[in-house]
Amino acid sequence: EAGVAQSPRYKIIEKRQSVAFWCNPISGHATLYWYQQILGQGPKLLIQFQNNGVVDDSQLPKDRFSAERLKGVDSTLKIQPAKLEDSAVYLCASSGELTYEQYFGPGTRLTVT
């Protein structure tokens, strides 16, 4: 069974530029999560999708961050414009029905200069 795929693995941009991250969850997993992990901290949930609907985006900075999961499968997280404090690892995770086990992708390390 293939795991959660993410791309790119690394990205370096200048502040005020835009960037997009892609995630493909485990096949059949209805729930998809995006987490932000700042160096030295635990991951923090940005947004949670159930199929293609948003369950929780209370921690998403909506003035600059957006995410979509149009067909209930893969998802894109966008930052526009980026700030220095957005430097972090962005983790995508997915889980199946009736389970709280989340499977994580390798993450995208974003550096904003």
Partner 1 sequence: AQSVTQLGSHVSVSEGALVLLRCNYSSSVPPYLFWYVQYPNQGLQLLLKYTTGATLVKGINGFEAEFKKSETSFHLTKPSAHMSDAAEYFCAVTRGNQGGKLIFGQGTELSVKP
Q: Which residues bind partner 1 (CB under 8 A)?
A: 4, 31, 33, 40-45, 48, 50, 55-56, 91, 93, 95, 100-107, 109
Task: Using the minimum distance from each CB to partner 1, give the nearer residue, 63 or 100.
Answer: 100
Q: Is the Cβ–Cβ distance between 4 and 23 less than 8 Å?
A: yes
Q: Minimum distance from CB of 81 to partner 1 (Å)?
A: 27
Its sign, for the CA torsion 80, 86, 87, 90, is negative
Task: Using the minimum distance from each CB to partner 1, give the nearer residue, 17 or 59.
Answer: 59
Say whether 86 sits in a helix, a strand or coil. helix
